[in-house]
Amino acid sequence: MTRKKRLSSVLQNIFKIAVLVLFMSPFYVALNYALKTKQEIAQTGLAWPKELHFENFTEAIRQTYVAGMPFFKVLMNTVIATLVGTALIVFISAMAAYAIARRKGKIYSICYTLMVVTLLVPIQAYMFPLYDELRGMGLLNTNLGFILAKVGAQVGYSVIITTGFVKNISVEIEEAALIDGASIPKMFVKIVMPLLKPIFMTSIVINALSIWNDFGLAFIVLTKPANYVLPLLQFTFITSNTSMLNLAFALFLLTMIPILLLYLFLQKYIVSGIMLGSVKG
């Protein structure tokens, strides 16, 4: 190996280590604060704690019950919203993407354009109309209202990447199934949907992460503690009068475990799904 190649290899390794440290630093901060007392956080900053306070995790859960927002009830609210919302987004985007990818006509082009436009509209632009609409429908402060709001906010992106993926599926496969006597719904379920598995996995991970970690829409739609989801529950540990950073970070680590496991289990599909979904989108 020449000196130039050796230097290039060293610089690449340094860059990789720097990127790793950069991305892992939030986890270090979270774990660091979760294992300290309030006083130690103020006194030692980011230094590793001298004594590990694992009781912060149980105390964080206990405090949610004291505040009238039981941890496991809020956890169930979040799980239901994530499961139902993700399932709806995947199902709707699959049908919409198939129609847009296979049908010809201006209406389908317009629908695709509208999906793209939804990605450009920030939450601040529609938060007040959304609040008013949900209140008029009686869905404010309900899990259903939150789910519908998230589906509306997320479905555009899923339709776009799924449409690109559908365009990569050979039309001849579908034509052969139709010639054999299969109806369009049966052909879609039996032939097309199994071929969409990679993009389904990608959509599940992306949308589940978005719903599980959502604070903005949840803050608008869910104002009663009984209907809170986990991001709102974490926020209650930091108020204008008191700041329990150790308990807030302890709760954050607890709530991160389920969605992190999902991500680690399905992350191999994310890059391949997005790449395949963007080829002809």
168 and 108 co-located in one domain = yes
Kindly report the CATH number assigned to the domain that includes residue 168. 1.10.3720.10
Residue 179 lies in a domain: yes
Q: What is the pTM of this model?
A: 0.84
The Cα-based distances of 230 to 28, 46, 150, 151, 233 in angstroms read 21, 25, 15, 18, 5
Q: Where are the alpha helices (DSSP H) in the chain?
A: 3-34, 38-44, 55-66, 71-102, 106-120, 123-136, 143-166, 171-179, 184-187, 193-195, 197-213, 216-221, 230-235, 245-277
Please report, in tens digits, the pLDDT of each residue of the chain (281 residues total): 577 778 888 888 899 999 989 988 989 999 999 999 888 888 888 888 989 999 999 999 998 888 788 999 999 999 999 999 999 999 999 999 988 988 888 898 898 888 888 888 888 888 888 899 999 999 999 999 999 999 999 999 899 988 888 888 778 887 888 888 888 788 888 888 888 888 888 889 889 999 999 998 999 999 888 889 999 988 888 764 557 888 889 998 999 888 888 888 877 766 555 555 444 44
Domains in the chain: how many in total?
2
103 and 189 co-located in one domain = yes
Q: 163 is in which domain, residue-wise? A: 69-277
Residue 181 lies in a domain: yes
